[in-house]
Structure 1
Amino acid sequence: MKIGITGKLFLAIMATCMLVLMIMNWGVRLSFERGFTDYIKSSNEQRISLLANALADRYRTEGNWRFLVRNERLVHQLLRSFEQNAEGDDTDQSLPPQGWRVPFWVFDNHNVRLAGSSVAIPEQATRKPIVLDGKTIGWIVAMPSEKLTRSADINFAKQQSRTSWILVALSTVLASIATLLLSRSLLSRVKRLVVGTHQLAAGDFSARVPVTGGDELGTLANDFNQLANTLEKNERMRRAFIADVSHELRTPLAVLQGELEALEDGVRQLTTTSLHSLQAEVSSLTKLVNDLHQLSLSDLGALAYRKSHINLSEILGQSVAAYRSRFQAKGLSIETDLPDNSAVFGDPDRLSQLFNNLLENSLRYTDSQTDDSAGKLHISGTLSKNTLTLLWQDSAPGVTEEQLKQIFERFYRTEGSRNRASGGSGLGLSICWNIVDAHGGEITAAHSPLGGLEIKLTFPLFNDAGVTSL
């Protein structure tokens, strides 16, 4: 049976908890047994010392060991007196009233057994001398307390062991419940991400997952939603792009087909005018295909850029000079106010393409005559410490706020007829955006103070060290 990630996480956490519990239980038991054994050993050693002192005092009184021969009761009375005194004694020498835990024997100085257990004396037994006035008068031999031998002590140790295992069992139950809840809580969010991923893979780009918590899973859910937003936007752009391309191609193809059918049916004669009409539609198709090719190259970063140290004002002046006659033919004027030397690191051919697209856009969309003045285009440039800023301002007509947000999107034209003769292909500003971005600059659109559109271009300057300032 295949174990899922929930089961694996549960088993991993549970195994860790069980290992910790077992180690803790083993450590506590080991510490308890050693500590309890040491306590019993110390207690017995204290009793042996007290018994040796008591027997020495009694020997002083009696003068010999006859009082102890066949008198086990005397030893027990002494032991009980120690325990009774210990109950009211608050010193460190106090003894618990449990009695002897190991066998013991009393010998005189000639090794004659006077009292004690009837069992054989083991080799590992310890000997405590009974000293009176600096002279050894006898010995107390006791079994070393290396382990629990008294039934009460053994029962106490078993009770502690049972209690520790009960605590381990309760801790295991609590750990399993906490681990199950934790694994389900964590994995529920992972499962939502899995479901969302499957929806994206199936083409449902509207899939979103709730963002809960500020941990790594919350960050992952937020990134997933951003990815879904990007994919959804790209899908909309792809569909719009296909629709726009098909529309742009359909119009000139329909005109060409109509013209050719008219010539074929004899409705129109093959004249210079009809050939010029066909040539115009072919040129329109060629320009559209070239624009699409340029846009695809710029999107992919495949446009060839041969950058060098250039004067941008000079490149712009050349483009303005090439368009000035066309502007004058339409009744438009061009005013420039550019710095003499604006050193940038760029490709002169691509920058010329940028300026030509902007000039073509102003030429197409600017009216030659407004209510109180003639149409015009004003181009100005200002230098700061690290940047060159170009302002492209034309006169009426202007654009709306909604149009400003979409003006750099491909195939977008502010006029609604979608007539290529007046509105172009709608790809020029998209290509401009890519060229400016490739030069490390920025391009934005705003309302012009002259009543039309303002395009703001910002380029990093080429400093004295030979590098571009950003």
Structure 2
Amino acid sequence: MKIGITGKLFFAILATCMLILITMNWGARISFERGFTDYIRSSNEQRLNLLSHALAERYRHEGNWRFIQRNEKVIYQLLRSFEQNDDQRDEAPLPPQGWRAPFWIFDTQGRMLAGSSHPVPQQANRKAIMLDGEAIGWIVGMPSEKLTRSTDINFAKQQNRTSWILIGLSTLLAAIVTLLVSRSLLSRVKHLMAATHHLAAGDFSARVPVTSRDELGTLANDFNQLAKTLEKNERMRRAFIADVSHELRTPLAVLQGELEALEDGVRQLTPTSLHSLQAEVRSLTKLVNDLHQLSLSDLGALTYRKSNLDVIALLNLAIAAYRGRFENKGLSIEVELPPSAMLFGDPDRLSQLFNNLLENSLRYTDAMNNHTSGKLKISASQTKDQLLLLWQDSAPGVTDEQLEQIFERFYRTETSRNRASGGSGLGLSICWNIVDAHDGQISATHSPLGGLEIKLFLPLASDTSTL
């Protein structure tokens, strides 16, 4: 029979409770027996001492032992006087009636004057009754060990039975509480198990209710975050497949239509028709190349040959290559850069990063908006250990919702930044991976010029960087 985690937890907690109960019972009994025996011994010794002094004083007054011969009432009166004055003494209180040891009084010739009717045990304690330094008699008391073995046996049995009854009731109560606690704790584990099975079966909408802030609550929260991430990745995967199919289908459909028109004689084979075909092939080739680059960057398979380099010089080269295209579209480039900034990075990948950002601004920035010429402003500032690059272009801008998705692959806004500009929607995704490979950060926000602002944080090279 296989015991589940609920049964294991139940038996573990119950066994621990039983062990604690038995240990406490055993320790309490040992402590009680030893302490109680010492208490009886010391109290009876005190009682015999008081009786010895009282008898000595009475003997001084009477001059002989006749006052107690055949008159044990005197002994009881003395004992009662001890009990009445018990609260006024500093010594330990006398034992209760049921725990008093039997005693016997003898004169100096060994004749018993008063005492118990039981025979005197051999191990009895003898105490002399002293008067003015001389022994005038003896008090013999039963030893406390004998008392413990004989008189408290019933009491010990009663205490033993009571202890086991309490242990049984405590065990039953512990079992009930343990069962409730184990079920309460493991009910959340069962929810996690069920949700995990749904997740493994492909149901990424599975969630676990978070009902506490303990470790199980943290685990449930982490599980929900994992399920949310997997659900998002699955949605992105499906969207990626759909986008790839759509992006590939469009140029292929155009090519097929153009070729069929040429084959049917609807269109003539002219330089214009060849140029149209080449444009679609270039678009298709660029899309395939972007997909290849993106897949390599996602897998970390892009080769990075890093070295110490001046990133400002690299950026100026990229700007110089694009300045003519910007001017042809009626856009201007405004630059505010420091003289130099040393990074430890791959010059080819950083050039690809800058080219993608320049291409993005070139494609999606209007030459004229509200009688204002379009432009791109590139600025940089340095701190002790990082370089901040700002990419700010003019209108059109994007919404807050679009900003959250702008680095997702194949994403293009539905207004001015659309497919008509020729973009595949993969450039910024590749930029994200390149910046991440250089231990930097990239983010997007609204530009003060009315368009999009890209922030790049890249770590500066340290003196210990190696080639």
TM-score, normalised via structure 1 length:
0.85
> Against the structure 1 CA distance between its residues 370 and 41, is the aligned structure 2 distance closer, same or farther, given a 3 Å change threshold?
closer
The residue that corresponds to 1:6 in the other structure is 6
Alignment of 1:22 with 2:56, yes or no, is: no
Alignment of 1:85 with 2:85, yes or no, is: no
Give matches, 1:341-380, under 5 Å.
341-380=340-379
Q: Secondary structure at the match of 2:404?
A: helix
> Against the structure 1 CA distance between its residues 105 and 456, is the aligned structure 2 distance closer, same or farther, given a 3 Å change threshold?
closer
Can you give the 5+ residue segments of structure 1 that lack an aligned partner in the other structure? none
1:365 CA displacement: 1.8
Alignment of 1:45 with 2:45, yes or no, is: yes
1:131 CA displacement: 3.0
1:427 CA displacement: 0.2
CA distance in 2, matches of 1:35, 1:404: 80
The residue that corresponds to 1:224 in the other structure is 223
> Against the structure 1 CA distance between its residues 136 and 148, is the aligned structure 2 distance closer, same or farther, given a 3 Å change threshold?
closer
> Against the structure 1 CA distance between its residues 26 and 330, is the aligned structure 2 distance closer, same or farther, given a 3 Å change threshold?
same
- Partners of 2:54 and 2:78 within 8 A in 1: no
Give matches, 1:437-452, under 5 Å.
437-452=436-451
TM-score, normalised via structure 2 length:
0.86
CA distance in 1, matches of 2:399, 2:148: 99
1:293 CA displacement: 1.4
1:340 CA displacement: 1.6
1:381 CA displacement: 2.6
Q: Specify the code of the residue in structure 1 equivalent to 2:457.
A: T
CA distance in 2, matches of 1:306, 1:467: 13
- Partners of 1:83 and 1:97 within 8 A in 2: no
Tell me the matched-pair count.
Answer: 463
Identity value in percent: 74
* CA deviation profile, 1:43-100 (whole Å, cap 9, x unmatched): 33234334444555566577666887xx5x43x4343123321231122465356278
The residue that corresponds to 1:34 in the other structure is 34
1:241 CA displacement: 0.7
> Against the structure 1 CA distance between its residues 459 and 150, is the aligned structure 2 distance closer, same or farther, given a 3 Å change threshold?
closer
Alignment of 1:390 with 2:389, yes or no, is: yes
The residue that corresponds to 1:283 in the other structure is 282
> Against the structure 1 CA distance between its residues 371 and 131, is the aligned structure 2 distance closer, same or farther, given a 3 Å change threshold?
closer
1:420 CA displacement: 5.1
1:451 CA displacement: 3.5
Q: Specify the code of the residue in structure 1 equivalent to 2:44.
A: N
The residue that corresponds to 1:433 in the other structure is 432
1:142 CA displacement: 3.1
1:280 CA displacement: 3.4
The range that moved more, 119-128 or 407-416, is 119-128
Give matches, 1:382-421, under 5 Å.
382-415=381-414
> Against the structure 1 CA distance between its residues 62 and 307, is the aligned structure 2 distance closer, same or farther, given a 3 Å change threshold?
same
1:224 CA displacement: 1.6
Q: Specify the code of the residue in structure 2 equivalent to 1:233.
A: K
Can you give the 5+ residue segments of structure 2 that lack an aligned partner in the other structure? none
> Against the structure 1 CA distance between its residues 280 and 7, is the aligned structure 2 distance closer, same or farther, given a 3 Å change threshold?
same
1:314 CA displacement: 1.0
Q: Specify the code of the residue in structure 2 equivalent to 1:124.
A: Q
Q: Secondary structure at the match of 1:141?
A: strand
> Against the structure 1 CA distance between its residues 415 and 66, is the aligned structure 2 distance closer, same or farther, given a 3 Å change threshold?
closer
1:157 CA displacement: 4.5
Give matches, 1:226-375, under 5 Å.
226-262=225-261, 274-375=273-374
Q: Specify the code of the residue in structure 2 equivalent to 1:41.
A: R
Q: Secondary structure at the match of 2:76?
A: helix
1:180 CA displacement: 2.9
The residue that corresponds to 1:131 in the other structure is 130
Q: Secondary structure at the match of 2:145?
A: coil
CA distance in 2, matches of 1:67, 1:396: 127
- Partners of 1:252 and 1:284 within 8 A in 2: yes
Q: Specify the code of the residue in structure 2 equivalent to 1:20.
A: I
> Against the structure 1 CA distance between its residues 66 and 346, is the aligned structure 2 distance closer, same or farther, given a 3 Å change threshold?
same
Q: Secondary structure at the match of 2:144?
A: coil
* CA deviation profile, 1:418-453 (whole Å, cap 9, x unmatched): 975623111001111222222233323233344333
- Partners of 1:208 and 1:225 within 8 A in 2: yes
> Against the structure 1 CA distance between its residues 77 and 317, is the aligned structure 2 distance closer, same or farther, given a 3 Å change threshold?
same
CA distance in 2, matches of 1:150, 1:460: 86
CA distance in 1, matches of 2:150, 2:387: 97
- Partners of 1:327 and 1:334 within 8 A in 2: yes
The range that moved more, 345-354 or 99-108, is 99-108
CA distance in 1, matches of 2:276, 2:335: 37
CA distance in 2, matches of 1:4, 1:376: 69
Q: Secondary structure at the match of 1:456?
A: strand
1:160 CA displacement: 4.3
The residue that corresponds to 1:423 in the other structure is 422
The range that moved more, 49-58 or 26-35, is 49-58
Q: Specify the code of the residue in structure 2 equivalent to 1:437.
A: D
